[in-house]
Amino acid sequence: MKIIFFVSVALFFIAACDGTDVVYRATIDAGDADLVNAPVYVDLNETLFNQTESLCVSSGGERLPAQAETVAGTVRVWWLANQRAGESVDYAILANGECPAEEFRWERTGDESLLLSLGNQPVLQYEHPVYDPDDVEQTKKPFHHLFDPAGNERITKGPGGRFSHHRGIFFGYNHVYINDEQIDIWHARNGERSEHERIIREVEGPVTGGHVVDIHWKDHDGNTFLVEERDLRAFRDSENSFVIDFYSVLTATDGTVRLEGDLHHAGVQFRAAQHVADHSDETNFIRPEGWQELPPDEEMGEEHWLDLPWNAMNFHIEDREYTVVYMSHPSNPNGAEMSERRYGRFGEFFPWHLSPEEPLEIKYRFWVIEGDAPSVNQIQQMFDFYAG
């Protein structure tokens, strides 16, 4: 996330001429890339600021919606910034302002399903089945479906179809070792599984929607050996695109856990709808500079798949074109291997050892676009902001 530099620490609730209150002032430096509806935030001390509704930010006479979220004793204020490369802009955070906008809202659509919408438009759906040993295939992992930017249909696959264990945005490893016991959280056929435990926090408002969920990774006997805290956020990027941020912390409950496997069966992965597998000849990949010599309609070989900063998959569902960009934050472990499959799956894998004192923290961003595919330069600019 782009760092926000504070330019004042003394301006709390100073009355403006229109009856609003200036809560804080901050400056954002756009860096080397244009900011276009780029999510930014500032953290404020909770004891000094507890306003959670009717927030705006103001710059140059223009007002934009802002959103406050309480996080671990601070209030995080979000908004979407639009600035030219190299430009520094001063923002005033206003309380009691009027900035009407559609809002992200959660609703329960079933005992094991939650839907996040922006206004009336579905954005993502969290599927969190209760594990059933008599119906393992349907209940062995939680995952997130994505909708197309127009909210017309889901563009990800659930259970069934080619490789039923591939589901939307999902996370797992096929070779997990606790001492000498091997556990397969990827396929999860023998009692081992990842299982939703609870919703820690839901986020709703005009700038971002999402949640923090508690997921337990369990062995063959149903004992928890890893606890995952997964934070998923959605931001509207444009009329035909949105951004999904995936942030996860994995912590071992007792002793050392080894995450191993291979790039095709481990890591944070995206799987497109079954229609893509049925029409895989329409799938192409867009890759960064340095990988441009590879044919877009061929999957990369092992001599090329190491440490890609980002990758993009362009595909069709019926007569609609989509591109999903997968960005790996530079703070993620080095040595990651990128997997590509034209049937609609891609993502990266790396091995790792965890202990209760040394958790694994990972960050990814998905940029979802309907219509013409973005250029390499456009994707690189988006990644540079995310990585900054």
Tell me which amino acid residue 372 is: D
Closest CA to 230 of 243, 216, 218: 216
- Please report the pLDDT score of residue 388 as a whole number: 81
Q: How far apart are CA 367 and CA 256, in angstroms?
A: 34
**Residues 303-322: pLDDT tens digits?**
889 999 999 999 999 999 99
What does the pLDDT average to over 317-342?
Answer: 97
Cα–Cα distance measured from residue 25 to residue 47, given in angstroms and rounded to the nearest whole number: 17
**Is there a contact between 387 and 309 (Cβ–Cβ < 8 Å)?**
yes
Give domain limits for the chain.
5-95, 104-387
The pLDDT tens digits of the residues spanning 246-296 come to: 999 999 999 999 999 999 999 999 999 999 999 999 999 999 999 989 999
Decide: 368 and 241 in contact? Cβ < 8 Å. yes
Nearest to 280 by CA among 267, 305, 298: 298
Contact present, 286 and 373 (Cβ < 8 Å): yes
Over the stretch 146-202, which tens digit does the pLDDT of each residue have? 999 988 899 999 999 999 999 999 999 999 999 889 999 999 999 999 999 999 999
Helix (H) / strand (E) containing 384: helix 376-387
What is the predicted pLDDT for the residue at 13?
39
Global pTM reads: 0.93
Q: Which CATH number fits domain 104-387: 3.90.550, 3.40.50, 2.70.98, 2.40.390?
A: 2.70.98
Answer whether CATH 1.20.140.10 is correct for domain 5-95: no
